[in-house]
Amino acid sequence: MPVATKPLTVRLAVLALTFGLAGCAGANAGDAPSAPTGSPDPAAPRVVARDIAFQPGTVTVRAGAATDLVFDNEDTAPHDIAVLASDGSVLFRGDVFSGAAQRVYRLPVLKAGTYRLVCDVHPNMVGTLVAR
C-alpha cells in the first residue's frame, strides 16, 4: 500500500530526527571537561572500577590544590568517573572507556568537603570523594 506507507515513512523520519536531536542536545552539554594528564603524582589517589563498583568506596584528596586522580577500569564494561557537588552539579567528568585500561586525570581545585563519585554509564556505581 504505497499511498499509506509514504506518510508513515515521513512521520517516522521526523520521529527519528527528533530522537537524534534530543540525544545530541542532551549530550552532557555544559559539563566540566575531562583533563587527562600523562604522569600522575605518585601520591595521587587511585580509584578502581571492578565488578561495577568503585574501590575503594571513599577516596581522600587535598583541598585547595589541583590533584591528580588515577582511574583504573578493571572491568571489560565501559565506565567513567565524575565528581559531583552536593547540589548535583558536575565538577569534573572523565571520558567513558572500557577496561582493562587506566586514565590519569587532573581534578579541579576543590574546597574542603564531601563530593559524590558516579559512573554515568552505571548510575548505581557511586563513591565518595573527601577533600580535606
Q: Which residues bind other proteins (CB under 8 A)?
A: 1, 4-5, 8-9, 12-13, 15-16, 19-20, 22-23, 26-28, 52, 75-78, 80, 95-96, 98, 119-125
Shortest separation between residue 97's beta carbon and other proteins, angstroms: 8
C-beta closer to other proteins: residue 26 or 42: 26
Cell digits of residue 33:
571537561
Rama region for 88: left / alpha / beta (φ>0; ψ in -120 to 50; rest): left
The C-alpha atoms of residue 18 and residue 120 are separated, in whole angstroms, by 23
Question: 78-79 and 46-49 as β-strands: parallel, antiparallel, unpaired?
Answer: unpaired
Nearest CB to other proteins, comparing residues 118 and 131: 118
CB 68 within 8 A of CB 102: no
Q: Quick one: 10 or 65, whose CB is closer to other proteins?
A: 10
CB of 80 to other proteins, least distance (A): 7
